Amino acid sequence: MRMPKASEADREFFRSIVADAPGVEVKPMFGNLGAFVNGNMFAGLFGSSVGVKLAANDLAELAKIEGAGPFGPAERPMGGYLSLPPSFTAEEATRWVNKAQAYVATLPPKLKKKK
């Protein structure tokens, strides 16, 4: 399985569409980036593709938009996530990332594993 690397422009775009809010952090993940709230990932960058984790109704709505599709490696896309269409403006992408953040913030916090 080949892991695409995000360009610096992709990373800057991703950071620009993730809100700087309490409990939100952007961290490196496998050469890409992930955005987390309360320890749970709500958005990710896979190469130049931005993926979001959404509630079922929002996931269905996004799936109807041309250009949206599976997120992650083609061999093993991530369940519950969809890639945003590459044609989205920063404003459109921000709207969906904010929906993902709001949804994932309702999930139980992920506890750190004891070493």
- To the question of pTM greater than 0.95 for the whole model, the response is no
pLDDT in tens, the chain (115 residues): 677 888 999 999 999 999 999 889 999 988 899 999 999 999 999 999 999 999 999 999 999 999 999 999 888 999 999 999 999 999 999 999 999 999 999 999 987 777 6
3-state secondary structure 52-72: EECCHHHHHHHHCCCCCEECC
Q: Alpha helices of the chain — where are they, by DSSP H?
A: 8-17, 56-63, 90-104
Q: From CA 115, how far away is CA 110, in angstroms rounded?
A: 15
Name 40's bridge partners.
Answer: 37
Per DSSP, the three-state class of 76 is coil
Name 81's bridge partners.
Answer: 53
For residues 84 and 7, the answer to whether their CB atoms sit within 8 Å is no
Domains of the chain, first to last: 8-104 (3.90.1150)
